[in-house]
């Protein structure tokens, strides 16, 4: 999962070191935050109702605070509107015209 702000992909953490990436919840969705976006992300992150911490994780339909273990039901997030279907392929009114042009060219250029 890339950083939700800048799209950077997480590199493999060095062995024995905790990843500098953080997890959080934005708009009731679990997100990953790269080290460069920590500060900017603080304004976006959902905060715990009890302790104000931003170390939240989304679990199924619940959001849990990793600091004080407060668990609450995740709010309903309205589904994204479905993308409009691809428009049906329009008929090609120029097909006959193209054939006519080709025939005219043949007449001009002669056979062969």
For Zn ion, which residue of 5, 22, 23, 38 counts as binding (CB under 5 A)? 5
CA distance 63 to 54: 11
The site map against Zn ion for 55-84 (x = CB under 5 A) is ----------x-xx-x--------------
Residue 46 · residue 74 · CB < 8 Å? no
Q: What residue spans of the chain are helical by DSSP H?
A: 38-41, 94-109
* 32 is an interface residue for Zn ion by CB under 5 A: no
Question: Given candidates 31, 37, 45, 74, which one binds Zn ion under the rule CB under 5 A?
Answer: 37
Count of residues in the chain:
112
Give the interface segment with Zn ion, choosing from 22-30, 53-61, 90-98, 104-112 (CB under 5 A): 53-61
b (16+ CB within 10 A) / e for 7-35: eeeeeeeeeeeeeebbbbbbeeebbbbbe
Per CB under 5 A, the segment of 14-22, 50-58, 80-88, 100-108 that binds Zn ion is 50-58
> Which positions touch Zn ion (CB under 5 A)?
3, 5-6, 8, 34, 37, 48, 50-51, 53, 65, 67-68, 70
């Amino acid at each position: 999962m890339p950083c939700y702000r800048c799209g950077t992909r997480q590199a493999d953490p060095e062995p024995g070191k905790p990843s500098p990436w953080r997890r959080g919840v934005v708009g009731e969705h679990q997100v990953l935050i790269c080290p460069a976006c920590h500060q900017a992300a603080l304004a976006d992150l959902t905060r715990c109702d009890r302790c104000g911490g931003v170390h939240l994780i989304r679990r199924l339909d619940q959001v849990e605070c990793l600091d004080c273990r407060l668990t609450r039901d995740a709010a309903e997030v309205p589904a994204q509107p479905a993308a409009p279907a691809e428009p049906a392929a329009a008929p090609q009114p120029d097909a006959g015209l193209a054939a006519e042009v080709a025939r005219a060219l043949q007449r001009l250029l002669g056979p062969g």
